[in-house]
Structure formats: C-alpha cells, structure tokens
C-alpha cells in the first residue's frame, strides 16, 4: 500500500480521480464553496451528519465529485483519537467495496492526526494471508492524504514520513506475530532479522546454541533445552550516529511458542501462545521503521528466541540454573520462562554501555488483570526514562501505565536454594516479574514494558496488534539530538557494510 501526501482543498479533492473519497468533518469545519462544501452543509442541515465521532454518511455518485463514492465522516472535536476511530469506521465500511484507491481529506494535520489517520487506514485494511490461501489480500494499493493548504502539507511532511515508517513497522510486527509457531520458528525470526540487516545502516548478527552456551547464558539455554527447535540470539544494530553516541538497547522476548513447559498451561487458549514472541516482533518492526527514517541515533536490538516445550530434556520445577550474570535462579515454575531468557539478554546489553535499555515482553497474565487490553504495563526506577516512554505512548496513541517497583515486592523471590526464585506468588505478579528483571539491569537506566494485554486481541478479532512499535518509535525519535552536525552522522553507504554472517553452531 502506497501512501501519498498532497495539497488538496475541498474543490481539488472533488475533482481528484479516486475510487473512494473520505472527507473528515470535525465540528469546527466551516464549508466554503463547491460541491463538497454544499454536500456537507446539506448533510448537517438535514441531520444526516451530526457531530458524533465515527458517524458516516455514504453518497454514491455525488454531483460535481469525480470519486464514485464519497464518505462524509464526523470526527467530533477532531482530536487524534477521534480521527483514528472515524477513519477506522470508514475504511471498515468499505471492505465489501474493495477499492483500489482511496483519498482521505482532513482539514488539520496537527496533534498526531496524520499518524492516527494513516495507521487507522493500514490497520483496518490489514488481511492475514500467509497461511490462509482462501483469504483475499486487501485490494487497496494507493492512499492519498489531502490537506487544504501548501503550508499545512509542508508542515506535515516529517510527521507523514514518520507515520508511513510506523505503518511498515507495525505491519511487520503484526505479520510475524500472527504466524503459527511452525511458520515462525526461532530460525525463521533470525532470517527476518538478517533481511533487515541488508538495509542501510542496519547490521545483524545471529548466534546459535554453542555460541550462546559459550557466553554463559545458562538461564536462556535452560528454557530452550526441551525443544527440538534450536535457539537463536539475534543482535541488530542501527547505526545512524557517531560511534561515540551511546545506543538505546531494545530487548524483545522471542518465545515462538509457550506450552508452559513442565508447568504446562491449560489446553483452552494455548493456541494464543504463538503470540508470546510479540516483544521480539515489536523490535523487528521498530528496526524496519528506523531503516526507513534513518534518524541520527544508534539503536541495538537484542532478541533471545526459542520455544518452551515439555520433554525428556526440559527444564523442571525446582531446577537451579546459572545466568550470564553469575546469579543462580531456582525455577519454581517453568511457565515463567520469559524472564529467564530476558535476564541473560539484559546482562548482555551491558557491553554496549547504553544510554537506556527497554525490554518488551508478553510477560504476565497478571498485567492483563491489572490493565486489561488498553495500556501496556510500564516499570522503571528511572523517572526520566519512564516519563519519556509515557509521553511517547500518549503521542503514538499506544499508551502505557507505570506500575510500582517497591523493594518489598521482591521479598517473594527469595529462595533457600539459589540467589533468586523465578516467581513470587500470584499477588502482584506483574510487579514481581519486573523486580526479577530489575536484578539484572542495575548498570544502566532500564524500563520494562509488559505487553501481555496490548500485543494481541482474542475472540472474533483474534490477531496481533503490532504494539508497541508506535510507542518505541516515538520514544527513539525523541532521543535524536536537537542539533546534529552532518559531519558526525555516518553516511548510509559506509555504515551499510556488514560483517560476514557468523556460522551458527
């Protein structure tokens, strides 16, 4: 799907050749002259188009309009959330029509309206086809976003480019989140990362079992030992700034299927455990967006990926494993495996001397109980980092909510047989999981995003959401230095040179 940004007043929009023209009508819009303005005025006067956000009036072959179908869509007071709701409703109503081209006209591009509208079109048009040959891919190929004046178009260009990159990143995260576990193994995720490594300023390294064992990642390796699928540790680098600029490190949980291991999950709903790699998918999606935008920052992506399976070699409740940090862990529940692979990745992150580390994981059902499916859980001992992530989430319409990290919550993680236990009981489960991770992230500013409730939807709308790519991308772009000398930014051609891929053990 190609997105274009154009200057179009209502008169120009009426004459544009397009299958469908969607006109966003806020309560503040004052129609002037022309066929579309008259149509809006008549619709309001007759009561067919009130100010309720998402209200749609569909007109076929409107007089003076080139588009075969016109949709007048109310956006209430025109805030970004209402724009998103209105555009999603309008595009959803067109699924039986299957247009190939669509023009979306809006009167104002400020306050994240461009992001909201662009992402809503992409999300609502998305169709999963990878393992469903009977599904018809979206016919929509061209989307024009029209703004009324050249000054508005110019002012919106940077936001539009950001929105398009975010659309691509979210699409990649959704696609791989939705794939069944036998079509999204650790090796397959590694190939996706290696493909990203061919893009300008991106480099990829993939480590196999022997290399992971050599690093001393005993906690990560223990989770993988019950599966026939070999584990992978993916290291992505986006180099957009000088080497002296400390990177932000993103760590994504990549459990491509989680049975719970020996502490096996109930059968009902276990199919949704293919989504347990959505943290990894969000890191891949963020790198896709970074490769498009080429911002002047450095970012490292770390993805420990494996399956959590029962079997003769599987990790057992009561086993004690040694993490890369040297800390021993008593595994009281093998279904609390995400923290076991993340802790070694968090230790590995120290070598990059990062400005900040953010881990992203579908970690706990307790977080879903706490926050539902609206906000991701946010944990951090750094107020500065937490506030930046909260602000990024609000701007991206991908919100999170900060939960506490009081030391008292770690009391339940004490063990008689190891330095720490991997679970601390049911009460405050999302917090005790975060407290476990915090033990391995004391050498740098760190935040944990629990996306168990936001990364996918159940029921009739079952599928990955692509979250929190939007939040992560907004946060990362907010770290771009305000004044960046061109001389300090590596040229894409020089950065694009990559090492030969290491042989996997």
The catalytic residue positions are 265, 339
Q: Give Cβ neighbours of residue 45 (< 8 Å, ≥ 6 apart).
A: none
Distances (CA, A) of 484 to 162, 168, 309, 471: 19, 26, 48, 23
Q: 328 pairs with which residues across the strands? A: 322
For residues 91-112, one letter each, b for 16 or more C-beta atoms within 10 angstroms of the residue's C-beta and e for the rest, the string is: bebbeeeebebbbbbbbbbeeb
- At 445, list the tokens: 């500013």
The SS3 assignment for 39 reads: helix
- At 67, list the tokens: 């588009």
- What is the 8-class DSSP label of residue 332? S
Q: Give Cβ neighbours of residue 459 (< 8 Å, ≥ 6 apart).
A: none
Where are the extended beta strands (E) located within 100-231?
101-105, 142-147, 202-207
Say what the alpha-carbon torsion angle 494, 500, 504, 505 is, to the nearest 10 degrees: -120
- What is the 8-class DSSP label of residue 460? G
What's the rounded Cα separation, in Å, for the pair 288 and 195?
Answer: 10
Nearest in space to 146 (alpha carbons), one of 110, 115, 114, 168: 114
Q: Give Cβ neighbours of residue 66 (< 8 Å, ≥ 6 apart).
A: 14, 15, 16, 17, 18
Give 169-204 as a DSSP string: HHHHHHHHHHS-GGGS-HHHHHHHHHHHTTSTTEEE
Say what the alpha-carbon torsion angle 365, 369, 370, 371 is, to the nearest 10 degrees: 90
Q: Do the Cβ atoms of 327 and 417 come closer than 8 Å?
A: no
What's the rounded Cα separation, in Å, for the pair 337 and 422?
Answer: 8
Q: Give Cβ neighbours of residue 265 (< 8 Å, ≥ 6 apart).
A: 258, 259, 273, 335
Q: Is the dihedral angle over the CA atoms 208, 344, 301, 489 positive or is it negative?
A: negative
Q: How far is CA 418 from the centre of its chain?
A: 35
Q: How far is CA 394 from the centre of its chain?
A: 14
């Amino acid at each position: 799907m190609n997105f274009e940004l154009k200057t179009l007043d209502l008169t120009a929009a009426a004459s544009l050749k397009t299958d469908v023209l969607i006109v966003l009508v806020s309560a503040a819009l004052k129609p002037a002259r022309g066929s579309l303005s008259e149509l809006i005025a008549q619709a309001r006067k007759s009561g067919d188009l009130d100010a309720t956000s998402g209200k749609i009036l569909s007109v076929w072959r409107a007089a003076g309009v080139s588009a075969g179908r016109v949709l007048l869509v109310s956006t209430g007071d025109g805030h970004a959330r209402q724009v998103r709701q209105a555009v999603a409703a309008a595009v959803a109503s067109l699924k039986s029509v299957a247009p190939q081209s669509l023009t979306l006209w809006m009167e104002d591009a400020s306050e994240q309206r461009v992001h909201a509208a662009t992402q809503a079109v992409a999300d609502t048009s998305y169709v999963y086809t990878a393992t469903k040959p009977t599904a018809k891919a979206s016919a929509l190929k061209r989307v024009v976003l029209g703004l009324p004046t050249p000054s508005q178009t110019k002012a919106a260009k940077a936001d539009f480019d950001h929105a398009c990159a975010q659309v691509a990143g979210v699409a990649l995260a959704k696609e791989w989140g939705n794939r069944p576990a036998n079509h999204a193994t650790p090796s397959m995720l590694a190939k996706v990362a290696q493909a990203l490594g061919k893009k300008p300023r991106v480099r990829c390294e993939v480590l196999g079992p022997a290399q992971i064992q050599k690093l001393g990642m005993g906690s990560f390796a223990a989770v993988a030992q019950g599966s026939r699928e070999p584990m992978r540790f993916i290291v992505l680098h986006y180099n957009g700034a000088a080497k002296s600029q400390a990177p932000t490190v993103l760590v994504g949980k990549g459990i491509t299927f989680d049975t719970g291991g020996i502490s096996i999950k109930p059968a009902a709903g276990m199919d949704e455990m293919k989504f347990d790699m959505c943290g990894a998918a969000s890191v891949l999606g963020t790198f896709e967006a970074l490769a498009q935008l080429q911002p002047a920052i450095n970012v490292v992506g770390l993805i420990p990926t494996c399956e959590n399976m029962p079997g003769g070699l599987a990790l057992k409740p009561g086993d004690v494993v040694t993490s890369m940090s040297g800390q021993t862990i008593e595994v009281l529940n093998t279904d609390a495996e995400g923290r076991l692979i993340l802790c070694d990745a968090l230790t590995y992150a120290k070598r990059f001397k990062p400005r900040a580390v953010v881990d992203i994981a579908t970690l706990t059902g307790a977080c879903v109980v706490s926050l539902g499916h609206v906000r991701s859980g946010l944990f951090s001992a750094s107020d500065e980092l937490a506030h930046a992530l909260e602000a990024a989430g609000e701007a991206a319409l991908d919100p999170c909510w900060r939960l506490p990290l009081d030391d008292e919550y770690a009391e339940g993680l004490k063990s008689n047989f190891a330095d720490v236990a991997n679970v601390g009981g049911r009460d405050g489960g999302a917090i005790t999981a975060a407290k476990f991770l915090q033990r391995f992230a004391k050498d740098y500013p760190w935040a944990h995003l629990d996306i168990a409730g936001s990364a996918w939807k159940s029921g009739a709308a079952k599928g990955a959401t692509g979250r929190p790519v939007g939040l992560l991308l907004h946060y990362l772009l907010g770290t771009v230095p305000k004044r960046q000398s061109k001389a300090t930014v590596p040229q894409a051609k020089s950065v694009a040179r990559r090492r030969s891929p290491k042989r996997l053990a």
